[in-house]
Structure 1
Amino acid sequence: MAIRKSGRVATRPVEDLAPAAALFHGLGDPTRLAILRRLADGELRVVDLTGELGMAQSTVSAHLACLRDCGLVAGRPQGRQMFYALARPELMDLLRAAEGLLAATGEAVALCPAYGCAEDRR
């Protein structure tokens, strides 16, 4: 999305926004966000993440595969182990901006009837 000097947003075809929508869809899972938050502190193995997040190995591996396929996480083999790290450090800037937006909107996003995190949706 480009902002013109007049302050108006330049319109683009919806198809041009598909990659951004895919990125936000990939980030739209709490487990993937938790994995990214942990990887922001440094590389980890699946076993490290399963212990810290209290999740099954298959769950963590599936989410890591999604993040890796999106180019957000990279794996580094070391012997028989794989160490995962953020592939794009600027992702943390995006997540910090999202946290700022959430702080500014209060509970409005969480209470959204379509996408909010009401108790019965968990």
Structure 2
Amino acid sequence: MTMMERGARQLDDVATAVYSHLFHALGESTRLAVLQHLAWGEHRVRDLVAHIGLAQSTVSKHLRFLLECRLVTVRPDGRSSWYALSDPVAISGLIAAAERFLDVTGTTAELCVHLRHPGHRNGNGTEGG
């Protein structure tokens, strides 16, 4: 008797594609760096360029991908656009879950304390960036 004959579940191709797209967004180091900076608060593209040290076109490309995945939002302000995490609590939970999984596999890594705790303030009472 085959698995299909026993009533095995079918894979949900749409859900699989959505998860794959999300993991693809998180699987690129520049996009993770962008998320880390946005965990401090809103940034403009030029701020991220200065922090990350990549070309404006490269940072913009990664922001478009993160926007497409709905991990970040954009707020127009005059001639500037301000980018922020779309749901800091959910992203924080995802990072914490990844850290737990890495611990289980024998790898200890902490992406950034402030990404696990968005809005964390530095020692002088202001948000870092």
State if a TM-score over 0.5 links the two structures. yes
Matches within 5 A, 1:1-122: 11-15=9-13, 16-89=15-88, 90-107=90-107
Deviation at 1:11, TM superposition (A): 5.0
Change in Cα spacing, 1:91 to 1:11, as seen in structure 2 (3 Å) is farther
Q: How many residues align?
A: 99
TM-score (norm. length: structure 2): 0.69
Which stretches in structure 1 are left out of the alignment for 5+ residues? 1-9, 108-122
The runs of at least 4 consecutive aligned structure 1 residues that moved more than 3 Å come to none
Identity %: 49
Q: How big is the alpha-carbon RMSD for the aligned residues of Structure 1 and Structure 2?
A: 2.0
Change in Cα spacing, 1:53 to 1:104, as seen in structure 2 (3 Å) is same
Change in Cα spacing, 1:101 to 1:81, as seen in structure 2 (3 Å) is same
For residues 12 and 37 of structure 1, what CA distance do their matches in structure 2 show?
A: 37
The AA in structure 1 aligned to 2:69 is C
